[in-house]
């Protein structure tokens, strides 16, 4: 698609024309599924499933794909953001890393939702508990996500919410699996190391039950793209508890399993 074909009027809508400039198809292939966008380059015709699980860490994406999926195939590796597609209980499922922070997850969510026909993204990550009733390893389902990130301004500053359908599905599955979940508002921050030591406390007082760094960016893109998103997070630290050691690396690995199983089962049910 030649971007210079656009009229002056269309050019005024900067984001629209920019989007088309970035999206091109491999000229050597007739296969429309081998797309090449700004930050995702499909390595083969397998492409992405309708549902993509998104951990932050590329090595965790690899681990999940190889541990839980049948026939996992690497479908993207731009900047080492590994994306795999395979099968879980016979259903095609993808898992791709989001990287850290809103700007990173927002790029991948935007491209997956708008260029790769992805319908559902389920973030699976860690969070810090901001509510005293929460404990290490608790599984949190983010109903919505407040943020102090300027990224939200372009969307009018609304508090982005998760997909109700995805949330209900995840809660039901967790109940069936005997996994205890807590639902509530997340605080998505841009600053892991915040110079304001009170930042977490301020957002806790505003009703946020946990802090992490991606959910708001994901939810905003899902709402904008009219797709579905959910963030499921496992508590890895208690930032409001002084000198709390947090989880060890091994504990983090193990506590991830509950969350992954919920997300994979949700992918199956969404596809039915």
Least Cβ distance, residue 126 to ligand HPA (angstroms):
4
Residue 108: which residues within 8 A CB-CB, separation 6 or more? 39, 40, 54, 81, 96, 98, 99
Spatial separation of the C-alpha atoms in residues 161 and 224, rounded to whole Å: 11
Q: Locate 205 and state its tokens.
A: 């007082």
Phi-psi category of residue 186: left, alpha or beta, with phi > 0 → left and psi -120 to 50 → alpha = beta
Give the integer Cα–Cα distance in Å for 218 and 228: 9
Q: Which of 123, 227 has the CB closer to ligand HPA?
A: 123
Helix (H) or strand (E) holding 228: strand 228-237
SS (H, E, C) 2-67: CHHHCCHHHHHCHHHHHHHHHCEECCCCCCCCCEECCCCECCCCCCCCCEEEECCCHHHHHHHHHH
Q: Which is nearer to ligand HPA, 18 or 192 (CB)?
A: 192
Burial 249-272 (b: 16+ CB within 10 A, else e): eeebeebbebbbbbbbbbbbebbe
| Contact residues for ligand HPA, defined by CB under 6 A | 126-128, 189, 192, 211-213, 236-237, 239
Q: What tokens does 35 get?
A: 């797309």
Nearer to ligand HPA, 93 or 215 (CB): 215
CB of 248 to ligand HPA, least distance (A): 14
Side-chain-side CA neighbours of residue 253 (13 Å): 8
Catalytic residue among 57, 148, 190, 237: 237
Residue 204 or 270 having the CB closest to ligand HPA: 204
User: Measured from the CB of residue 200, what is the shortest distance to ligand HPA in angstroms?
Assistant: 7
Give me the least distance between CB of 239 and ligand HPA, in Å please: 4
CB of 204 to ligand HPA, least distance (A): 12
Looking at the Cβ atoms of 47 and 128, the one nearer to ligand HPA is: 128
Can 196 be counted among the known catalytic residues? no
The closest residue (CB) to ligand HPA is: 128
The residues carrying an active-site annotation are 237
């Amino acid at each position: 698609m030649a971007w210079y074909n656009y009229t002056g009027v269309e050019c005024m809508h900067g984001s629209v024309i920019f989007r088309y400039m970035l999206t091109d198809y491999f000229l050597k292939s007739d296969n429309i599924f081998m797309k090449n966008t700004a930050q995702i380059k499909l390595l083969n015709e397998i492409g992405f499933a309708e549902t993509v699980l998104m951990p932050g860490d590329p090595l965790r994406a690899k681990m999940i794909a190889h541990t839980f999926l049948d026939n996992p195939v690497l479908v993207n590796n731009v900047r080492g953001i590994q994306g795999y597609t395979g099968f879980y209980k016979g259903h095609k499922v993808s898992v791709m890393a989001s990287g850290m922070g809103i700007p990173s997850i927002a790029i991948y969510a935007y491209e997956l939702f708008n260029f790769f026909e992805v319908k559902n993204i389920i973030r699976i990550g860690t969070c810090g508990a901001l509510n005293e009733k929460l404990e290490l390893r608790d599984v949190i389902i983010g109903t919505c996500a407040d943020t102090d990130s300027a990224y939200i301004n372009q969307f009018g500053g609304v508090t982005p919410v998760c997909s109700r359908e995805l949330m209900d599905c995840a809660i039901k599955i967790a109940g069936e699996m005997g996994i205890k979940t807590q639902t509530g508002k997340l605080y998505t921050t841009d600053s892991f190391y915040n110079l304001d030591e009170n930042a977490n406390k301020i957002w806790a007082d505003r009703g946020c039950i946990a802090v992490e760094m991606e959910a708001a960016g994901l939810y905003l893109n899902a709402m904008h793209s009219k797709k579905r998103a959910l963030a499921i997070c496992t508590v890895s630290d208690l930032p409001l508890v002084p000198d709390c050691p947090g989880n060890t690396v091994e504990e983090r690995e193990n506590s991830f399993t509950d969350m992954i199983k919920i997300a994979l089962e949700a992918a199956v049910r969404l596809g039915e």
